[in-house]
Amino acid sequence: MAPRKKKETKKAVKPNINAYIAGAGLTVEQPITETLETNYMPYAMSVIVSRAIPEIDGFKPSHRKLLYTMYDMGLLNGSTIKSANIVGRTMQLNPHGDAAIYETMVRLSEGYQALLHPYVASKGSFGKAYSRDMAYAASRYTEAKLAPIAAELFADIKMDTVDFVDNYDASMKEPTLFPVTFPSVLVNANTGIAVGMASSICPFNLKEVCETTIAYIRDNDAVISDTLLAPDFPIGGELLYNRAEMEKIYESGRGSFKVRGVYSYDKSQNCIDITEIPPTTTSEAIIEKVIELVRLKKVTEINDIRDETDLNGLKITIDLKRGADYEKLMKKLMKMTPLEDSFSCNFNILIAGSPQVLGVKEIISEWVAFREECVRRRIYFKLSKAKDSLHLLKGLEKILLDIDKAIKIVRETEEEAQVVPNLMIGFGIDEIQAEYVAEIKLRHLNREYILKRTKDIESLIAEIEEMEGILKSRSKVLKIIIKELEKVADKYGEDRKTKIISAAELEEYKEEEIVDNSPVTLFFTKDGYFKKITPQSLRMSGEQKLKEGDEIVQTIESTNATELLFFSNKCQVYKTKTSDLADGKASLMGEYIPSKLEFDDAEQAIYMVETADYSGYMLFIFENGKIAKVPLASYQTKTNRKKLIKAYSDKYPIHTIMYVKEDQEILVKSTNGRMLIVNTAQIAAKTTKDNGGISVMTQKKGQRILEAVSYTKGDLETDHRYRTRNLPAAGSKLPTNTAEQSKLDI
């Protein structure tokens, strides 16, 4: 016996650590285009083609995998089953997490109300598309099946109408598209964000889509907007219709339109019930915005707002104050909240694997071409089956000539394998026909059975001729598509849910109608702090709280309907509305204006102006004795600009900024001990905001303006000494040791 060889054992090869770290720390130059092409482009294309953009059948891959799994499970008929079961089975086609698959099912369900015609019939809590906080239940608590309209997705799928491909592990097949019998891509909304592109397709009414498609098939030059009136949303709402804008969207596949909510007024309860909202928002977002407007006192007619959504559907209730005009209030809310919102369209669809932005007519054209191919493949499939049946029946027909002969051949054949060849020889039929005859049961080898079967030959021949005629005639194929569209429209069509109203007929709310004339007192401090205090709060207040070393330099009795201008030390002015600033209290330090109005770095607020009509003048008194007079109207703008540059001249150091509603006298004092009383009417107003002004009080080298204040006649006993007819003037010195000197001692 030969000696047994020792079993060779391979030594484990230790990895060469040095080989791994040899390139560590080295920088390899690579063109950015190569990096993008090799590393980023495959990911981008995967997102575009396999995730975010729908195809001509109206579905993304995630939708298609879920619905086909449900179809394969037999969920077109019967009762609902647990959603978790469906999600688990779908993972055979869609190798992603169960949460993503279940969320896809939720969005396709009738309970969620995101689609005009949901494909999933749901049982349980599936959340709501119009609510941000109404979450759907876990998949183990809900049930689902396919909705009846889903039958239109799979009607011909077993007749070779579409291609099938392997799933991710080649364990089963899945369809690349659904042979849907209507343009579902236009019927149910579809949105998605890919890499570098997005898709946003609004839903249209099923009846209108079918009618438009039929009109296009009959006449390619048909006007789309004649039959496809406007988008239709499952939540309803009112669409502000502009035919020119809508036709532009239909033609280019891009554009936007506005949708507003629907409300009713309950006079007995003095409340407004909002029952429909735009598809782009949620009930919570609307309520939060209304609360914010009430808090800022931009809306004063509301007592309370609450969400009363229940099993009957969406409902937001607004309780009004006594005497409030509900129509005027709703105009405000439409303008200032998401109750009126824009829907942006971007009809980006994958056509043969390539993303294209198409108009409605182009989408219908592509769908008709796709559906035409499906019908042809279905007819060809049925034709092949019919020809095969005819071939078998013609072989059976020959048996009719001599049944006894056939029985004799079978009986006298010694070997089973020779039965088929002997029948072929005995009756002159081929192997397929002979195999069919040989498989007939003994009980069926009678003249009655064979005559019944062979009677089908004539009808099969007629069917084959008809199907061959259809395949040769495009018009006949299109007639079949039209007939199917009419059937779908009759069976599943519904009335419009979104009402169409003319945008031109609506009276647009103007923001200036908002007038809150409630009185307030405005306080502005030396360090730039601002307080707005109501009379009631002011009566109950104690001492004003201020920053250490700060002091109040301006106190103005005003209302919430005015505007405020804050001039800064950098020759700029910042504008805001009094109502935009929050009410304060004496016990609070107030709002820091440079921070509130977003001043530039190291910029300080030095003067506040309050106005309701931009009347009066601004006086800019410079240290060198020059004064610039600018009409306040020069700072008024048609647009809501928050910041104006070059608000006054930066050529000379500024000493005092003063606002006067009309011409008056001001008292100017210099460091040289002289005073001058000037009437502002002597200073010419210039609309150029940053003009350098005119010389009013002459100053010698080293001298500057010390003080400038408003002057009231009688404050000085000999005020005529300080007036002059001509400017500039040096002014007069104060008499020494007089009451006037001590009165005006600075």
> pLDDT (tens digit, 9 = 90+) per residue, 262-297?
999 999 999 999 999 999 999 999 999 999 999 888
**So which residues are the catalytic ones?**
141
Q: Where are the alpha helices (DSSP H) in 413-514?
A: 419-427, 431-438, 447-454, 456-472, 474-492
pTM value? 0.69
Instruction: Let me know if 447 is exposed, middle or buried by CB neighbors in 10 A (0-12, 13-18, 19+).
Output: exposed
CA distances from 358 to 56, 92, 346, 374, 554 (A): 11, 34, 9, 21, 62
Going 541 to 543 to 544 to 546, the CA torsion angle's sign is: negative
Q: Which residues of the chain have pLDDT under 50?
A: 1-12, 513, 746
Q: Which candidate, 325, 287, 327, 279, places its Cα nearest to that of 307?
A: 287
Is 115 in contact with 63 (CB distance < 8 Å)? no
Strand partners, 310: 313
- 140 Cβ neighbours under 8 A, 6+ residues apart: 82, 83, 84
Instruction: Let me know if 517 is exposed, middle or buried by CB neighbors in 10 A (0-12, 13-18, 19+).
Output: exposed
CA distances from 649 to 234, 630, 653, 668 (A): 60, 11, 9, 20
% of the chain surpassing 70 pLDDT: 93
Residues 118, 490: Cα–Cα separation, whole Å: 17
- 272 Cβ neighbours under 8 A, 6+ residues apart: 263, 264, 265, 266, 317, 318, 320, 326, 329, 330
Strand order, beta sheet including 316-320: 262-266, 271-276, 316-320, 302-307
pLDDT of 12: 47
pLDDT of 19: 56
Total Cβ atoms within 10 A of residue 633? 13
pLDDT of 447: 74
Strand partners, 638: none
Residues 496, 482: Cα–Cα separation, whole Å: 22
Residues 46, 91: Cα–Cα separation, whole Å: 19
Total Cβ atoms within 10 A of residue 31? 8
- 628 Cβ neighbours under 8 A, 6+ residues apart: 619, 620, 622, 648, 649, 686, 691, 692, 693, 694
- 722 Cβ neighbours under 8 A, 6+ residues apart: 667, 675, 676, 677, 716, 731, 732
pLDDT of 5: 47
Relative to beta strand 499-502, strand 238-241 is parallel
Domains detected in the chain? 59-179 (3.90.199.10), 262-338 (3.30.1360.40), 369-491 (1.10.268.10), 613-746 (2.120.10.90)
> pLDDT (tens digit, 9 = 90+) per residue, 475-533?
999 999 999 999 999 999 999 999 999 877 676 655 554 556 789 999 999 999 999 99
Q: Which residue is associated with the tokens 């606002």?
A: 659
pLDDT of 507: 61
Q: How many helices (H) and strands (E) does the chain have?
A: 23, 33
The DSSP call for residue 533 is E
pLDDT of 15: 54
